[in-house]
């Protein structure tokens, strides 16, 4: 493959990104690939003096990594790149050179891979000089939006650690993310491969005798590395033979030297300033241990380099170190300055043989960071992205559909057209347009999101007809013919809630207001619970309904039942009204009280008519099978069951007999 790596920082700069790029280039070339570097330099014209390295003119920003702010576009370099016949472009950062890489990729239709190296949320102090909370929040929000946009505009993203992947997912990046730890040349850091004379010369240069025990920080000297913490803590290190060396330069260099002087540590803390990258293995070999209090690492290359050099690591706990630093085996964790000092003293008090056991464990724990493994993993991502790009769809037409965009897609390898519904946000985020294209992996991702989108639109149609509770929407989605996964359903329901389309609190309030005058508390609770409303939420809204309100509702219903029940004895009618009230959630006491208050004067007048009617019905029913005394008994039993009074029944029988004798 022909690969172009676009990076805003490259040799002779010294930092984690440069180490990663140099290592990747070497590893890919060992696998037989042709690798080109496009970067920047301090100058006014492009520099192509190095083989396969193109340097754009730029301006150094000393307060930010020492990076060069390159020109955003060079037509000459673009034309040179066009002639290379590249298979893939790999952008390493987010600034001008990497922007140029994205532009070139778009113009030449070359797939892009993006490595996210830097946790920018830990670097907002560079723009928030006065440490204002509001500025910090806005800056972090803008950064997360920018990273999401950059991550979603490429074929795939490489994250050097799980910590970085979690950050990308938190920012909302939805393109494929591959966790690939940066590899290093492990052999280059082993003491047997380092020139002992160079190390001895360094010892003489910095005045280190045989009794000196040295703990070193190696890396960029900047605020986000929290080096001031270990300078402060070093005053508590009790062994006078222990010294600390800070190898590197950066914006905090002078401030840290002043801090050391103020603490009277000038003779115990050595500041080397910036050193050539090829000297780093020798500086590691000079030390007996390594320290870095930084919590802003995406992978922690200096930690890996130190361990490869056999140096136990002193660090604050960070998830990127979970598989590197094991307490009392490959290093030590500290939480504050005094704990740092205490653990340094304890380590250097160990016998030499005990310290050598740490050396072996440290080298073993980083064996997985082999350069070849690193290069092969990245090579696999390149192949996947190139394949996706080759199987991409062209966008034949675009039309709006409510708040979405409906795309018609064509794939040269298929005779059938594809239609794809995408949200307006995705349409903008992924820079889709008519006559543009969609890589295969992006198509699959958007197709998966389309299912969510269709379910979302279905929910909106249902909600427009009538309000729904969270449970009702959930049941609707679960019982769909082609249901979403549980995670997708939860996410969709959450989206509807966030947008205000479903709100159980408001639903409960409106339901109680609408039905509270007709239904008892118990029935309201029963119905709302069936709709998935929590009891506490229901109870909160029912507290406004008083006992007087409940009795008033019961009376309205009781009168309605009274008018509807006909051809029943007065007792049976009262019992039926009570039962109906109880079924509607009113208590037995409430039902009794309400029935007692009803006016049954008219019902009493109709009682005789009802009794006579019931008598006629009983007579017709039982006279077919019974006669004389048995018939009379059957009629009496029937009328008693109907709730008529026994004395009234006897009077009705006497009247019938008298009538019969006449």
What confidence score (pLDDT) does residue 521 get?
82
Convert the pLDDT of each residue in 385-394 to its tens digit: 998 888 888 8
User: Residue written as tokens 């229901």?
Assistant: 538
For residues 538 and 525, what is the distance between their CA atoms, to the nearest angstrom? 7
Assign a CATH topology to domain 2-179.
Rossmann fold (3.40.50)
Higher pLDDT, 600 or 329: 329
For residues 520 and 547, what is the distance between their CA atoms, to the nearest angstrom? 10
What mean pLDDT do residues 396-418 have? 86
- Domains of the chain: which residue ranges? 2-179, 186-369, 391-492, 504-545, 564-661
pLDDT band at 127 (very low <50, low <70, confident <90, very high): very low
As given in the structure block, the two tokens for residue 12 are 């002779």
Give CA angle at 498 (494, 501), nearest 5°: 95
290 has pLDDT over 80: yes
Q: Return the percentage of the chain with pLDDT > 90, whole number.
A: 44
What mean pLDDT do residues 534-560 have? 81
pLDDT band at 658 (very low <50, low <70, confident <90, very high): very low
What confidence score (pLDDT) does residue 131 get?
56
For residues 5 and 98, what is the distance between their CA atoms, to the nearest angstrom? 9
133 has pLDDT over 60: no
Higher pLDDT, 651 or 62: 651
For residues 464 and 452, what is the distance between their CA atoms, to the nearest angstrom? 18
Judge if pTM exceeds 0.85. Answer: no
> Which one is the CATH code of 391-492: 3.40.50.720, 1.10.10.10, 1.10.260.40, 1.10.167.10?
1.10.10.10
Hey, do 2-179 and 391-492 end up sharing a CATH topology, with the first three levels equal? no
What confidence score (pLDDT) does residue 72 get?
59
CA 246 distance to own-chain centroid: 37
377 has pLDDT over 70: yes
Poorest-pLDDT segment among 72-81, 306-315, 495-504 = 72-81
DSSP 8-state assignment for residue 327: B
Instruction: Collect all residues with Cβ–Cβ distance below 8 Å to 250 and sequence separation of at least 6.
Output: 66, 220, 221, 222
Alpha-carbon distances, residue 499 vs 145, 172, 460, 463, 504 (angstroms)? 20, 18, 11, 13, 13
pLDDT band at 297 (very low <50, low <70, confident <90, very high): confident
Convert the pLDDT of each residue in 581-620 to its tens digit: 888 778 888 888 888 888 887 777 777 778 888 888 999 9
pLDDT band at 545 (very low <50, low <70, confident <90, very high): confident
What confidence score (pLDDT) does residue 661 get?
39
What confidence score (pLDDT) does residue 530 get?
93
CB atoms within 10 A of CB 360: 11
Which H or E run contains 69?
strand 68-70
Convert the pLDDT of each residue in 146-161 to its tens digit: 788 888 888 899 998 8
328 has pLDDT over 80: yes
Q: Where is mean pLDDT largest: 66-80, 439-453, 557-571?
A: 439-453
> Which one is the CATH code of 186-369: 3.40.1180.10, 3.40.50.2000, 3.40.50.980, 3.40.50.1820?
3.40.50.2000
As given in the structure block, the two tokens for residue 536 are 């506490």
Which of 575, 579, 636 lies closest to 611, judged by CA?
A: 636
Convert the pLDDT of each residue in 209-255 to its tens digit: 999 999 999 998 999 899 999 999 999 999 999 999 999 999 999 99
Are the beta carbons of 115 and 17 closer than 8 angstroms? no
């Amino acid at each position: 493959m022909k690969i172009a790596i676009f990076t805003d920082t490259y040799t002779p700069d010294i930092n984690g990104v440069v180490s990663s790029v140099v290592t990747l280039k070497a590893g890919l070339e060992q696998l037989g690939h042709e690798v080109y570097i496009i970067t920047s330099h301090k100058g006014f014209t492009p520099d192509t003096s190095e083989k396969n390295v193109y340097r754009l003119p730029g301006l150094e920003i000393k307060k930010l990594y020492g990076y060069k702010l390159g020109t955003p576009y060079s037509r000459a370099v673009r034309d040179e790149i066009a002639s290379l016949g590249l298979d893939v472009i790999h952008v390493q950062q987010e600034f001008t050179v990497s922007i140029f890489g994205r532009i070139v990729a778009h113009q030449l239709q070359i797939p892009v891979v993006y490595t996210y190296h830097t946790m920018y949320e830990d670097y907002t102090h560079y723009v928030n000089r006065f440490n204002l909370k509001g500025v910090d929040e806005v800056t972090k929000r803008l950064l997360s939006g920018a990273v999401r946009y950059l991550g979603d505009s490429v074929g795939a993203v490489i994250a050097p650690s799980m910590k970085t992947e979690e950050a990308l997912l938190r920012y909302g990046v939805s393109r494929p993310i591959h966790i690939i730890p940066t590899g290093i040349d492990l052999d280059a850091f082993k003491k047997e491969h380092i020139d002992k004379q160079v190390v001895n010369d360094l010892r003489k240069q910095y005045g280190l005798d045989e009794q000196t025990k040295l703990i070193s920080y190696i890396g960029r000297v900047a605020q986000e590395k929290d080096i001031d913490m270990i300078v402060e803590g070093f005053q508590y290190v009790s062994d006078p033979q222990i010294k600390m060396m800070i190898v590197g330069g950066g914006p905090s260099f002078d401030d840290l030297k002043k801090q050391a002087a103020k603490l009277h540590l000038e003779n115990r803390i050595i500041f080397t300033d910036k050193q050539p990258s090829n000297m780093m293995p020798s500086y590691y070999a000079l030390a007996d241990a390594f320290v870095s209090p930084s919590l802003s690492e995406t992978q922690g290359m200096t930690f890996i380099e130190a361990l490869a050099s056999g140096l136990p690591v002193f660090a604050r706990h960070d998830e990127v170190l979970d598989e590197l630093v094991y307490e009392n085996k490959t290093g030590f964790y500290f939480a504050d300055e005094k704990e740092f000092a205490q653990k340094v003293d304890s380590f250097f008090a160990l016998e030499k043989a005990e310290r050598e056991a740490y050396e072996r464990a440290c080298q073993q724990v980083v064996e997985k960071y082999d350069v070849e493994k690193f290069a092969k993993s990245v090579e696999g991502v390149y192949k996947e992205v190139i394949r996706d790009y080759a199987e991409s769809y062209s966008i034949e037409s675009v039309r709006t559909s409510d708040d979405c965009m409906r795309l018609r897609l064509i794939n040269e390898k298929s005779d059938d057209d594809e239609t794809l519904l995408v949200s307006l946000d995705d349409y903008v985020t992924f820079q889709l347009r008519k006559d543009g294209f969609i890589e295969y992996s992006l198509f699959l991702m958007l197709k998966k999101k389309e299912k969510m989108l269709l379910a979302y639109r279905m929910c909106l149609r249902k909600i427009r007809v009538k309000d729904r509770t969270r449970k009702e929407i959930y049941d609707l989605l679960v019982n769909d013919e082609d249901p979403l996964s549980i995670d997708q359903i939860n996410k969709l329901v959450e989206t509807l809630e966030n947008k205000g389309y479903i709100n159980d609190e408001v639903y409960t309030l409106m339901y109680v207001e609408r039905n509270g005058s007709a239904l008892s508390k118990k029935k309201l609770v029963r119905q709302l619970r069936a709709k998935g409303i929590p009891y506490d939420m229901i109870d909160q809204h029912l507290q406004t309904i008083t006992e007087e309100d409940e009795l008033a509702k019961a009376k309205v219903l009781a009168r309605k039942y009274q008018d509807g029940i006909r051809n029943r004895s007065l007792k049976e009618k009262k019992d039926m009204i009570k039962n109906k009230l109880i079924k509607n959630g009113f208590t037995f006491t409430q039902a009794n009280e309400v029935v007692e208050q009803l006016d049954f004067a008219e019902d009493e007048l109709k009682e005789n008519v009802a009794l006579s009617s019931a008598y006629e019905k009983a007579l017709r029913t039982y006279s077919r099978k019974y006669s004389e005394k048995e018939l009379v008994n059957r009629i009496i039993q029937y009328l008693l069951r109907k709730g008529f009074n026994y004395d009234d029944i006897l009077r009705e029988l006497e009247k019938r007999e008298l009538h019969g004798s006449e």
